[in-house]
Every structure is written in structure tokens, then in C-alpha cells.
A and B are shown apart, each in its own frame.
Chain A
Amino acid sequence: MILFWLLAVLLVGTALAVIMAPKPVYSVVALLGHFVALAIVYLSLSAEFIAVTQILVYSGAILVLFLFVIALLSSGNGGITLGPDRLPKIPTPALIALALTLIAIAYGGAHAVRQMLPVAGGGGALPVGAAGAFGSVADFGATLFTVQLLPFELTALLLMVAIIGVVVLAGDHEALTANDPRSLAGLRRLEREAILREGEPLR
């Protein structure tokens, strides 16, 4: 119980730090704390595999990707210039009222559902790591590779599409098409060569 409230305070605090930090790097550090705290919450809900995946994929891969992009973008041109944030434009009391309503609905809905639950109270942890227990890797994998095999296989397609999309977006088009005089990059190359030869751009 104490663990949950401690982690809840930590989660909300780090989440607020993520969205209010003046620099994106601070946001990433706060997000790291958020993900680690969330992984501990998952462990307390006896979802071991999700907890480990959370650390591996989010803290290991996604955050490093964020850091790489921040380092890449702010190294060359001396910082990122941005417009002002939109906070002053929006009527804040209405937003807070809406947020409180949504939270009340979430609490009430979960409270109503609680009566139907098979596990009394719905919380608490089983012994973590016991073979065959609910949420253990064996239990998770058995369901993932039998009942839920189709969604699992479809994620492979999704990741493939993502990889192709990233290569198309961020790939080096100039290098790919520089030898083709019909392309923009090829035209630019011809123009550069003409400048080198004659000292002025051809028009």
C-alpha cells in the first residue's frame, strides 16, 4: 500500500516534470524515472514480463532514440528555437474541471466494476517469479504463442512498415539520386559542377 502511493506520487511528479521541463533533455531524464517507476508498479501487479519489456524497450531503446535525436539536433546549429507555448491561450479553469470530471468517471467506473471481479479487491501481488503463476513469463508466453498468435505475428508487419517508413523519411535521397540528371539532386549536382567550371550558375 505504501509502495503504491509512493510510486503514484513519483509517477505523477515525473510526468509533470516531463511536460514542464524547460529543455527536452530534462524531459528525457524525467521520463526515465517515470518508466522505471512504472516498471515497479507492473511488478507489484505481478506482470513481470511487461515490467522487463518496459525497461528494455522504453528505457533502453526509445529514450536512447530521443537522446540521439536531441544530441543530433542541438549539436550543429547551437540550440533549437521554438515558438511560445500555448498555455496562455486556453481557458485553464474549464480544462481543470474537465480533467477532474474524467478522473471522477474513471474512479467511479472502476469502483462499480470492482464488485464483479473474481479477485477480491482486485489488487495485491502473487509471489513473483513462481513457475506457472499468473503473469509469469511461462504463463505470458503460453498465451502469447497460442491464443494471441495472430496479433503477435502482425506486429512483425507493423515493425517492418515502421522501418521502411523511417528509411524513406530520413534516408539520404541526395546520395541515392545524385547520378540521375532528371532528379532535383542530380540537377543541383550539375549546377554545382557548372559553377565550378564557369564561375556562375547556369540559368
Chain B
Amino acid sequence: MIPAVDISSYVTLSALLFLIGVAGVVLRRNPLVMLMGIELMLNASNLALVAFSRAWGNNVGQIFAFIVIIVAAAEAAIGLAIIVVLFNRSERVDVDDVTLLKG
């Protein structure tokens, strides 16, 4: 049996991990690392959902987290396909240079 850990510890950890993910997306230019930053953010939100689900004794939060995992899988597949297309188009990939949809 694990002794009780306060819910606010879980939520604070989740916020910290989310901010690290934001930093990864904002500060790095490698599109692969940016996608990993998005995964970190989704995981951080999942941690908060599961922690609150446990705290309220209501498993709908777990189902929400499950669906977030599905969305993350779809998002990773699409994002990586876009990256492959970008790399095929030119050798140098800088996300600031990608202005195809800018209009």
C-alpha cells in the first residue's frame, strides 16, 4: 500500500511537465523535437486527468485520458507524415521556412 500523496502535488507536477513541453515546442526548431514537446504536453494533461479521476473516485477522467491517447496517436501519425513530406521537399528543414499555407 502506497501512502497518500496530495492531489496538488500531482497537479503541480502536471503543470511543470506541461510547461517543459511548451518550452520544447517554442524554443526548438527541429520539427521532430517539437512534436515530442506536444506529446509531453498531452501526457501532462493526462496526468492531471487521471489524478483528478482518482481523487473524485470517478473513472470518466480515465476515459478522457484514454481518448487523449488515441488523439495523440493520430496526431503523431499525421505530424510525422508532414515532416517526411517536408524533408523530401528540401534537405534543410526549418519550421520558420515552411510558409506554404501562409497565403
Task: Using CB atoms and an 8 Å cutoff, list the residues of chain A in contact with chain B.
Answer: 1, 3-4, 8, 11-12, 15-16, 18-19, 21, 24, 27-28, 31, 34-35, 38, 41-42, 44-47, 49-50, 53-54, 57-58, 61-62, 65-66, 69-70, 72-73, 77, 80-87, 90, 95, 99, 102-103, 105-107, 109-111, 113-114, 117-125, 127, 134-135, 139-140, 143-144, 147-148, 151-152, 155, 158-159, 161-163, 165-166, 169-170
The contact sample of 15 A-B pairs, CB cut-off 8 A, is A1-B4, A8-B9, A19-B21, A19-B40, A50-B65, A61-B73, A65-B77, A66-B80, A103-B19, A110-B11, A134-B59, A143-B59, A151-B67, A155-B71, A158-B70
Contact residue among A106, A111, A139, A165 (Cβ-Cβ distance under 8 Å from B15): A106
Task: Looking at the assembled complex, report how far the CB atom of B84 sits from the nearest CB atom of chain A, in whole angstroms.
Answer: 5
Majority SS of interface residues in chain A?
helix
The answer to whether B11 touches A107 (Cβ under 8 A) is yes
A99 to B36, CA, bound (A): 20
Residues of B contacting A53 with CB < 8 Å? 66, 69
Majority SS of interface residues in chain B?
helix
